Structure 1
């Protein structure tokens, strides 16, 4: 083999080796780019999924927070209404106690006796007994109705009307009157509170 042939062979080998190396490097770069694109695409999809999950979680947290605040507002509103109704009831009872005097009982008892007739037994506290007995006696002088009045030490500030032959009785006290008025008025108070709210 001549030197020229050898040089030509070396040049050909170098050229082929360089071409092969160049092709291989291009292939490596292309594969690296392809791999990088895949990694970027997967990362982008993961990023989108993480953002979507975070957005869903944020919305769920906001929704739960709003619901909790609305529930707390409703609870506070109901508690406040109940407290106000209790306060109204306490004030009503205090006012009923103020006006629940022997004079009030006098007029009420005379009307009841006039409507019910005879055979009535009245039980009164000692404080009310004499004043009411005199008043009732004055109003019923001309009546043929029989009314029995007795005192009871445990009847502080209250009155019982008993119709023994018919088997019924009414017990009248400031607490019972206030309770009846409270039952009647609480619906109206609720309406007022709702309108104020």
Structure 2
């Protein structure tokens, strides 16, 4: 007996809508023929810059800004980190980048760094990393179908600004790996920045 579908073929779904659905991430991804696996990810690492100026900037921002709103977390923590990456590798940081693949795969990528690896970063709405990862996973599926890149893996991260979680989409195998680890800012800044650089420069 086949499993009942949870997405309505006649409905239209934006990326952010998936973070609001009550279904398990694995069940949502199964609608796209994709499997979810929880893994301790071994991510590429490079740190080609001095970390200290960014660490100081983030610590100052944390002292000055109350992170109660999404816009505060974006401007105080997420944007400075991603700007640092893009400034060094000399590529634009695309913000609220619109993408449409189908009625089930459409919306805007919060942050998109267009390198061969095509790094996606999304902000977890309502600071909910679990639901945010569901949205990230669906956006990676959309990116897989949308991009001309032929790399075997696509990378993404969901963040609340002060917490980061990474994911990988193995394109040919149709498996999304969700990292079982989370990383805090500023304490794990070295690891987060090394990973973002590692992905962007690989």
Q: TM-score range by the shorter chain?
A: under 0.3
Bigger radius of gyration:
1
Task: Give 1 or 2: higher helix fraction.
Answer: 1
TM-score of the two chains, using structure 2 as the length reference? 0.23
TM-score (norm 1): 0.24
Structure number with higher strand proportion: 2
Higher RCO structure (Cα 8 Å, ≥6 apart): 2
